[in-house]
């Protein structure tokens, strides 16, 4: 990839916003720099479905024309939005041309909040069809991991993660129904936050995956993740405070049978536990009460979510990928059998609440992934069972916390022997988003990570 040198490409969202507010940079120049980088680099990654080049410049000019930029926490920050989240003037793709809906007439609420904070939407990022898979590809191409283009950046917010890890944007919106922010964050060496239930407006599809799906952010630093979260949650930006001494439950137990945790992911948890102990926290080995029934009900919900979305949208299933058609068919069977029940989800939430209270534990530390991210290409052509088993085997740790509705964050913790990033997941009870980010900040301070994939932009000395 030819080297592209731009003053603001690679800068953090906080650096950019501070410079624009002070008048040290214009939003127009910042956005133009990033659009140039996207034009040069995205053909290799295919992170974006649509780039809003002209519209983004016009919106950046509007930011520059505002009299008072002091109240814009994301002033001039280029941001990417996942393609299942309506952006006015752009079709909502949901991962494939067969599912695409007409041009959206208005922004989703989270997009409205981002724009209201001064951010400029430069484009929408790719995802797998209906957001069903932890790999991101379709007939038009595969989204590639900037750390290793042969590998997937994860899914379903795979395009968002690839864009941030390569410096195409400093921060991206994603959403997470069974791990779709945290899995890509782990694959791409990013901070990925899934807020708890009803903290950020969801309104995703027909049922929001039965209430499991949440909007959140992917970023290269904890500070940017905290800033993005505050905007999405409609809060004033909060300064993260070093937490008191916490009691940290540490578990590497997979939440489903038949999953093998590999060495680098197990080592990452051990490293993170040592770092947290060094920061003054008490770490205790303790496994959440995962059950076989939980795994089966979670899978049934995954299947039935596809069925509900297809029914609500009136999709012609013949136009969908074979793996998606099969997933919908199994979902219809699960729905008709009554295998997806709100009472079961609430029972698991109650069980998780008791787990944290009875320890008592302030947070839970787990692996982010169980294995290396799979290769990038051809998943849309492969069988349903191949997709199902691959996703379950490499990324099983995120889903229980969607079912519970608890917040969770993924944090980078180093590199695997093969050079890919490795991360850990930190989970907390309802309302603990800022605590989780504070813990993530302690890990960042104790073991700073490489913000972008090797060979991609670094923060220039003149930035900020």
How many CB atoms lie under 10 A from the CB of residue 260?
8
Nearest CA among 47, 51, 88, 121 for reference residue 453 = 47
Q: In angstroms, rounded to a whole number, what is the distance separating the alpha carbons of residues 408 and 433?
A: 7
Reported as half-sphere exposure (CB side, CA atoms, 13 A), residue 138 has a value of: 28
Q: How far is CA 271 from CA 283, 443, 446, in A?
A: 12, 10, 11
Q: In angstroms, rounded to a whole number, what is the distance separating the alpha carbons of residues 290 and 271?
A: 24
Contact in structure between 302 and 296 (CB atoms under 8 Å): no
Contact in structure between 4 and 42 (CB atoms under 8 Å): no
Reported as half-sphere exposure (CB side, CA atoms, 13 A), residue 210 has a value of: 26
Nearest CA among 199, 169, 111 for reference residue 434 = 199
Active site residues: 82, 156, 180
Nearest CA among 218, 229, 160, 157 for reference residue 191 = 218
Nearest CA among 361, 411, 406, 397 for reference residue 249 = 361
Nearest CA among 390, 311, 426 for reference residue 133 = 390
Q: How far is CA 39 from CA 19, 47, 123, 160, 379, in A?
A: 24, 11, 12, 16, 26
SS3 122: strand
Q: What's the DSSP call for residue 89?
A: T
Task: Count the helix, strand and coil residues of the chain and give each as a percent rounded to the nearest 5.
Answer: 40, 15, 45
Nearest CA among 131, 108, 134 for reference residue 186 = 134
For the chain, give the number of residues.
464
């Amino acid at each position: 990839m030819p080297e592209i040198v731009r003053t603001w490409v690679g800068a953090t969202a906080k650096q950019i916003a501070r410079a624009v507010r002070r008048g040290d940079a214009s939003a127009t120049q910042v956005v133009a720099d990033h659009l140039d980088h996207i034009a040069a680099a995205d053909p290799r990654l295919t992170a974006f479905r649509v780039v809003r080049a002209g519209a983004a410049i016009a919106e950046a000019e509007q930011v520059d024309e505002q009299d008072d930029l002091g109240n814009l926490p994301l002033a001039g920050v280029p941001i990417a939005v996942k393609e299942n989240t309506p952006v006015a003037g752009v079709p909502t793709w949901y991962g494939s041309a067969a599912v695409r809906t007409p041009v959206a007439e208005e922004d989703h609420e989270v997009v409205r909040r981002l724009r209201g904070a001064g951010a400029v939407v430069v484009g929408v990022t790719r995802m797998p069809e209906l957001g069903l898979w932890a790999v991101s590809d379709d007939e038009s191409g595969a989204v590639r991991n900037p750390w290793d283009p042969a590998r997937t950046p994860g899914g379903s917010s795979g395009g968002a993660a690839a864009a941030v890890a390569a410096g195409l944007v400093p921060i991206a919106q994603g959403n997470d129904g069974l791990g779709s922010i945290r899995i890509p964050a782990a694959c791409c060496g990013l901070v990925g936050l899934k807020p708890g239930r009803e903290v950020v407006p969801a309104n995703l599809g027909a049922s929001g995956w039965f209430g499991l799906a949440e909007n959140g952010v992917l970023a290269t630093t904890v500070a940017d993740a905290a800033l993005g979260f505050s905007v999405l949650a409609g809060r004033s930006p909060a300064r993260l405070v070093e937490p008191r001494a916490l009691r940290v439950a540490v578990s590497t137990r997979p939440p489903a049978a038949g999953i093998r945790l590999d060495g680098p992911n197990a080592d990452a948890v051990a490293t993170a536990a040592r770092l947290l102990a060094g920061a003054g926290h008490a770490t205790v080995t303790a496994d959440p009460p995962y059950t076989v029934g939980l795994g089966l009900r979670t899978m049934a919900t995954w299947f039935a979510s596809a069925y509900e979305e297809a029914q609500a949208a009136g999709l012609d299933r013949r136009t969908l990928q074979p793996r998606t058609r099969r997933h919908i068919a199994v979902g219809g069977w699960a729905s008709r059998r009554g295998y997806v029940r709100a009472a079961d989800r609430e029972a698991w939430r109650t069980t998780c609440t008791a787990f944290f209270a009875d320890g008592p534990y302030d947070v839970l530390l787990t692996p982010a992934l169980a294995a290396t991210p799979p290769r990038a290409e051809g998943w849309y052509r492969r069988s349903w069972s191949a997709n199902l088993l691959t996703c379950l085997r490499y990324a099983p740790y995120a889903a229980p916390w969607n079912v519970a509705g608890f917040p969770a964050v993924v944090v980078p913790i180093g590199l695997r022997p093969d050079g890919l990033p490795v991360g850990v997941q930190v989970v907390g009870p309802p309302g603990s988003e800022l605590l989780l980010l504070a813990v993530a900040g302690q890990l960042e301070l104790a073991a700073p990570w490489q913000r972008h994939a090797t060979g991609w932009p670094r923060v220039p000395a003149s930035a900020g």
